[in-house]
Structure 1
């Protein structure tokens, strides 16, 4: 179970340097093989929250294996940029969203490395952390990507692209970029549910255990059961037994993780182990996706990080 804020507050505080250095580790996503040019999550991105803002002011620590590609709070990073002609979308209907990823030379990139079976992962979340979508767009020969979004509720949304260039000065570095869009209509924000250590979806119960603290490496486990019995027939999804996306309340910083469990056919579960460092304290909305019998399930809960 998650520790209470009072019990966590008695622990030894993390040095500011360690927090910035560790930030958000995506060990299970295979980023340990990356070159280390990616952005430093866990830093204060307030000055670069605008979708068009560059990240030149964000510190770099090259050569750090396993570092994440930033928290997805900027449209530009190290010369790589997420561009789209779309700034607004209609509500209540499915819509296509076109975009490009341009490189340091200003030209659209067409060569991307495959990560978790896909060349690009795309996420959408509303500012109140509702409406989660995890998609895999298609790319035309000229480098234009198109993703098909399900109907969106009115309000402000952030759209993220996670990718790894297969050419250029930061070949092999993982990046997460984003832009914000406004969906037309009158928005009604939903309050964030309280932190919990279990949730249910499609008849499955997902129990999450751990005491995450900002800036500290920590093990978090998710145990899946159904009708009181352990689930042991999880199928591989994106080359793993689960995919976890987490968004920080307030600024929508993104973390995406995969469990450390070795994939062995359709025999995953019941317990999945994640090794993660979340660089910011506060509440995170967690979306855990797993697959059984060919169906994808998405379990949702709020996790508190001290």
Structure 2
């Protein structure tokens, strides 16, 4: 083989390695930014549902674009990009309504008091037990000093994870969506509930919810939820948080968080029967989905298990 040919082959091999490395770095990224869209306005409204919590690793793939929920990551960290969820509370009494007090501090270490409104609220707050039961979605009220109080219904004994979803209205985090979380213990004998098998259908309050789609971890997909009652299409869904349905999901095992963004346009009190969502799941495996929708002034919370490939 001539010297010139050997030199050409070496140059081509080096270029191929460089290109592969560049593609790998582009795919993995370095991650900065924040969150999963939600809403926030000091309010004390309450929405309930069902369970789990666990402390799990907060690094994993949360800093890799496309591998977390939106830009914020998986919601398992208490701090992100200089913003931190702080609280002196590490335990809550079992079976009693309680107010969980917390604050969001900024890069300067001071409590943040300016939050953007998203889906009619400045703060969305979620509670889930480690076995994915006991889901609650509430809207805390903020005091002038930046302290939030989330009104929680009685929690069952066990380990719980509490999530705060928000977007700063100023500072370096302005325009970014964050989901931060902390864990609390509820004393007593914890009775774990096995996770229901993956199924595309569930029933709540006489309504049947059917979810279709084939989501893959780390990729954007569309999910469609169809609402029927007595075998007939439901077309009287009312707006709830500026949408016809609010969909949140938690990963079995580590409780990674995902908020699925609604794509269906709201137009009066006649939503349904089909609702579409933009879905991005950080991990493969089973996710517990909680779909909240409203009819005749009543809020319904449907839960089902979805397997993500």
TM-score, normalisation: structure 1: 0.81
Q: Which whole-Å CA distance do the structure 1 matches of 2:64 and 2:293 have between them? A: 34
Match of 1:48 among 43, 51, 58: 58
Q: Which residue of 2 aligns with 1:243?
A: 246
- State whether residues 260 and 280 of structure 2, in contact with CA within 8 Å, keep that contact through their aligned partners in structure 1: no
Q: Which residue of 2 aligns with 1:157?
A: 160
Q: Which residue of 1 aligns with 2:16?
A: none
Q: Which residue of 1 aligns with 2:296?
A: 293
Q: Select the structure of larger CA radius of gyration.
A: 2
- State whether residues 248 and 282 of structure 1, in contact with CA within 8 Å, keep that contact through their aligned partners in structure 2: yes
- State whether residues 27 and 276 of structure 1, in contact with CA within 8 Å, keep that contact through their aligned partners in structure 2: no
Match of 1:175 among 165, 168, 178: 178
Counterparts of 1:196-275 in structure 2, within 5 Å, are: 196-275=199-278
Q: Which whole-Å CA distance do the structure 2 matches of 1:18 and 1:250 have between them? A: 29
> Cα offset for 1:258?
3.2
Cα deviation digits, residues 2-55 of structure 1 (max 9, x gap): xxxxxxxxxxxxx9878756x9x989869xxxxxxxxxxxxxx96437xxxxx9
Q: Which whole-Å CA distance do the structure 2 matches of 1:222 and 1:156 have between them? A: 30
Unaligned runs of 5+ in 2: 1-22, 40-54
Unaligned runs of 5+ in 1: 1-14, 31-44, 50-54
**Residue 150 (structure 2) pairs with residue 147 (structure 1):** yes
- State whether residues 38 and 166 of structure 2, in contact with CA within 8 Å, keep that contact through their aligned partners in structure 1: no
Q: Which residue of 2 aligns with 1:121?
A: 124
How many pairs were matched up? 266
Cα deviation digits, residues 148-196 of structure 1 (max 9, x gap): 1100000000000000000111211000000000001011111111000
Q: Which residue of 2 aligns with 1:73?
A: 76
Q: Which whole-Å CA distance do the structure 2 matches of 1:58 and 1:275 have between them? A: 19
Q: Which whole-Å CA distance do the structure 2 matches of 1:253 and 1:243 have between them? A: 17
Q: Alignment RMSD, CA only?
A: 2.6
- State whether residues 99 and 150 of structure 2, in contact with CA within 8 Å, keep that contact through their aligned partners in structure 1: yes
> Cα offset for 1:275?
1.7
**Residue 197 (structure 2) pairs with residue 187 (structure 1):** no
